[in-house]
Amino acid sequence: MTSPLNATDLYHTGIVVPDIEEWKTWFTGIAGHRWTETQSFDLLVRLADGERVLPLRFAYSLDAPHLELVQEIPGTPWIRSGHLTTHHLGYFCDDLPTTSKRLEEEGFPLEACAIVDGSPSIFAYHLDPRGVRIEIVDRTRMPDFDAYLRSKAPTWH
């Protein structure tokens, strides 16, 4: 049997932060990162305690290896654990439902996923009992990640 993920599909490391703009400025000052505009939208998400609409906010670094800063949302998986640490590893996948099921079979229970038309869609988070969190993202949502980043970059770049 093949593994549920491909190493070459790892495209970002996610970090949950209390203030995206503050952390974008900090990472720029310390390492020269450039950023997309901060994206913001409400999305129906399935969590362990049920479904609810969450105000998701995030930004990606424009240069590889890519960082994703995610705004903290208390009472959800999007919280910091003590010191600022890696929150998740983000992988593209071609079949989100199948990949999600395979991760569950490998011991990564489903933690959260977006819901579109009543079904898991867009992304899913799986958390291993050792604390490794994997985000899988439907590749069709961003088939050309570099073009996506350019489209979200500030106009002054």
pLDDT digits (tens, 9 = 90+) for 74-102: 999 999 877 767 899 999 999 999 999 99
Q: Return the pLDDT at 119.
A: 87
- In sequence order, what E strands does 38-155 have? 39-47, 50-60, 67-71, 86-93, 110-116, 119-127, 133-138
The string of pLDDT tens digits covering residues 93-145 is: 999 999 999 999 999 999 999 999 988 899 999 999 988 999 999 999 999 99
Using alpha carbons, list the distances in angstroms from residue 63 to 28, 33, 114, 153: 11, 7, 27, 11
Closest CA to 76 of 88, 67, 66: 88
pLDDT-based confidence at 8, cuts 50/70/90?
A: very high
Phi then psi dihedrals of residue 92, to 5 deg: -75, 150
Whether residue 157 is predicted with pLDDT greater than 70 in this model: the reply is: no
The CA distance from 33 to 53, in Å, is 31
Q: Return the pLDDT at 155.
A: 77
- Stated as kind and residue range, the H or E segment containing 105 is helix 96-105
The structure's pTM equals 0.90
Phi then psi dihedrals of residue 142, to 5 deg: -145, 70
